[in-house]
A and B are shown apart, each in its own frame.
Chain A
Amino acid sequence: MAQPQMRKPIESGIPENTKFLHPLLAKNYGNWKYHDRPRPGVLHHVAHGGDEVWTVRAGTQRQMDVYTIRKLCDIADQYAEGRVRFTIRSNIEFMVSTAAKVDPLIAKLEAEGFPVGGTGNSVTMISHTQGWLHCDIPGTDASGVVKSLMDELYDEFRREEMPNRVHLSTSCCEINCGGQADIAIIIQHTKPPKINHDQVANVCERPSVVARCPVAAIRPALVNGKPSLEVDEAKCICCGACFPPCPPMQINDPENSKLAIWVGGKNSNARGKPTFMKMVAAGLPNNPNRWPEVAAVVKKILNVYKEDGRPWERLSDWVERIGWPRFFEKCDLPFTKYLIDDWRGARVNLNASTHIRF
């Protein structure tokens, strides 16, 4: 039988974006003068030539069914001007050319269940991963964690009442696909992988699994007469790096895979240099369907920051001012020995000074 004729891909790369731009964005491309925010969720940009464009930003569930997509398209066609864009945090933006179109658009979006906000000093949408819905190595879910938390942070999304913008992320394993954030929620494994020795030889390329381990805790071994791998459990740091290349080394554990909270990641160069986030809480249960223990810690940190942060202080700037001892005290979080870094380069995180706040 003849092979069916296969279509060769058109290797076009990314398309030119000009035809997708709102006409005013295309017209004033590279020629914007300033912007302000007439209200939370709305950006107002003014071009050097005098053109103005209003952007209304709304939250979405990111994982969208086609009916939701069509609903957003209907809103864009009826209340905006047929163009939308998405932010890096899966908010949708509608651009309109007159101020008069802003309020009806907001009313329609909110009536259809899309909260308007996420601009300026708000808590914006959580950047997140795939979780149980689609990932092959998840320790927890992503969309459900985000839905639960955003339900609780709904008002903060729709207001601009924080000292500065707040970016959140969630990640369902320590690879941290959700990324750096002011507050990040990340799975933290606490036990070495459980190995299914019957499968290792068939499924895993053993030398590359050995090489993957950051602490050289994995070695080849013969188990029950079969070639397999074994883990020096005293050395193992439970990072899970062996699990993707070798699924029989199961790292996810319904009881012992916990959640940790990290704070102070900032990619912007504004004020201080960019910073990595730091672990401040761990051992929280992976507790679907609403992860209440995690939400309680996140909300506590947010509330203290909101109360105590000064204008323009990102979470990292605020902690830099008040110091870590007071951060842990104010947020009612235990500073345990596990929060003292001992990984490569850890000495830069030790206090090599007498700068101590009493």
Chain B
Amino acid sequence: MAKQLHPTPMLDALESGPWPSFVTGLKRLAADKDIAVDLLGQLETSYMTRKGYWKGGTVGVFGYGGGVIPRFTELKGADEQPIFKDAAEFHTIRIMPPAGMHYDTDTLRKFADIWERHGSGLIAFHGQSGDIMFQGCTTEAVQPAWDEINEMGFDMGGAGPAVRTAMSCVGAARCEQSCYDEAKVHRAVTNAFTDDLHRPSLPYKFKFKFSGCPNDCMNSIQRADMAVIGTWRDNIRTDEALVRAYFAKHGMTDLVNDVVARCPSKAIQVKEADKVKTGATISSVKVNDTHALEIENRDCVRCMQCINVITGGLAPGKDKGATILVGGKRTLKIGDLMGTVVVPFIKLDTDEGVESLVELTQSMIDFFAENALEHERTGEMIERIGLVNYLEGLGLEIDPAMVSAPRTNPYVRMDGWDEEVAKINAKKSA
């Protein structure tokens, strides 16, 4: 039995309504745990005053430099003592989930038991960092809780200026659009940088995210310093039975409006079946006995729209891999940055392919460590030094797929133009 609940009229109102209530969950914990009673007390105070009352600090585990998010209360009385003393320390331990966030119930029950013994009993699946967040324990409890979680085979996530916990989509485990083994690549890349992950020593954070196709379910292009997004080089595959089934259900109106008209590069046309072109770069499939879809794959930008609409009927090709984009992040300081292409295509279906990505990532992190300013992310660094300097620093080849258009201004030193042309010609003729 825990101590008596503080009155929490503001929070109580969040117990009503149909959506699952975190307040009800906290109150259930508070029946047994004083730390949850006082957490509710402090949170209610925040709701009353519209102020936050946590400050950071330095709390960690033996052997690692990061991964614990320390929280100490700043809500103190005139005597400088915490008003809610049993939640005066409320630290979070970040733990990396398995790729794709799959669990068996045995593992989840063990997590719950550990956190019931050592912490508040509050766990988030998952934080925006992609970690399981074991929320709320005292400084003293961090190490024993961590020891048990670590012995289960789980490791701590990143925090601070470090390589961070990565995320990957459900991918090959349950998605027909998967273009590489997301979980394998996610694990191989992450586990190659555990030192940089656990011991923050970079200019600022470095994040990877892995999406299996251009639908980018992991938001990687907008959130990751390095986004690995699955794609393919050869022709879109077709399955006539599934395309006919789609057409039988939806008809010509939907086919034209949702598939043909929404193709961003006008690569797809509906044609009379006997007028469909053939050729090495053409995909075609009958929708019924008289009409067919024709796709010029050289014009296709691999956006996924037609494949999303007629899933299975149209499918990514067989020559699969990924595009690598770098530099995505939110506004501070220079404005929102999307990741942009630095490797148009990389094969990831062999151990050598995955190893080459790990090596590329290593050179990205090394370059970042040596060249970024303090608190500068990769995208901001590239904005400061220019993409070409970044590519040359990494030894990556320039490719027109890296730009949406060539330069529009003439202000540039071009002393090396002839040598560059000669290099490209030499390579072409080789």
| Residues of A bordering B, CB below 8 Å | 6-17, 19-22, 25-26, 29-30, 32-36, 45-46, 53, 55, 59-70, 72-73, 76-77, 82-88, 90, 92, 95, 113-115, 127-141, 143-144, 147-148, 150-151, 154, 174-180, 208, 211-212, 214, 239, 241, 247, 252, 254-255, 257, 265, 267-272, 274, 276, 286, 288-290, 310-312, 343-345
Contacts and interface: CB of A to CB of B under 8 A. Distances in A.
Interface stretch (B45-53, B76-84, B419-427): B45-53
A257 B39 CA distance: 24
Nearest to A344: B335
Contacts of B216: 267-269, 274
A129 B128 contact: yes
B330 A175 contact: yes
B156 interface: yes
A139 B336 CA distance: 21
B352 to A, nearest CB: 18
Contacts of A61: 19-22, 25
Interface in B136-178: 136, 143, 146-147, 150-151, 153-156, 166-167, 169-170, 172-176, 178
Contact of A270 (B28, B181, B304, B315): B304
Nearest to A10: B150
B111 A69 contact: yes
A212 B375 CA distance: 8
B201 interface: no
Interface stretch (B102-110, B274-282, B284-292): B102-110
Interface residues of B, number: 133
B322 interface: no
A134 B90 contact: yes
17 contacts: A14-B190, A25-B174, A32-B175, A45-B176, A61-B19, A68-B25, A70-B109, A86-B126, A135-B54, A137-B52, A148-B14, A179-B128, A239-B331, A268-B217, A269-B215, A276-B222, A311-B257
Interface in B168-201: 169-170, 172-176, 178, 181, 183, 186-187, 190-191, 194-195, 197-198
A147 B17 contact: yes
Contacts of B56: 136
A142 to B, nearest CB: 10
Given A62-B125, A289-B13, A88 B167 contact: yes
B102 A21 contact: yes
Given A20-B103, A135-B54, A270-B304, 17 more contacts: A11-B155, A15-B154, A34-B311, A88-B217, A130-B127, A134-B90, A147-B19, A154-B17, A175-B330, A177-B128, A179-B330, A212-B333, A252-B52, A269-B215, A269-B229, A270-B305, A274-B221
A136 B105 contact: no
- Closest 5 A/B residue pairs (Cβ): A34-B312, A151-B17, A13-B191, A65-B25, A254-B50
B156 A9 contact: yes
Given A60-B20, A62-B124, A311-B257, A134 B71 contact: yes
Given A133-B43, A148-B14, A212-B375, A65 B26 contact: yes
Contacts of B55: 136, 247
Given A64-B124, A90-B126, A312-B309, A252 B219 contact: no
A179 B127 CA distance: 12
Given A83-B102, A180-B222, A154 B123 contact: no
Contacts, number: 357
B107 to A, nearest CB: 7
Contacts of B71: 134, 136
B17 A132 contact: no
A88 B166 CA distance: 12
A65 B187 contact: no
A207 B221 CA distance: 32
Given A9-B63, A17-B183, A289-B10, A67 B170 contact: no
B96 interface: yes
Contact of B47 (A17, A45, A69, A289): A289
B98 A15 contact: yes
Contacts of A22: 102
B21 A84 contact: no
Interface in B268-308: 301-305, 308
A34 B242 contact: yes
A247 B222 CA distance: 28
Contact of A271 (B63, B153, B264): B264
Nearest to A255: B50
A65 B258 contact: no
B223 A13 contact: no
Choose among B18, B54, B147, B304 the residue with the greatest number of A CB atoms under 10 Å from its CB.
B18
Contacts of B190: 13-14
B122 A17 contact: no
B103 A64 contact: no
B109 A73 contact: yes
B258 A64 contact: no
Contact of A272 (B52, B166, B264): B264
Contacts of B151: 10
Best-surrounded residue of A55, A85, A133 (most CB of chain B within 10 A): A133
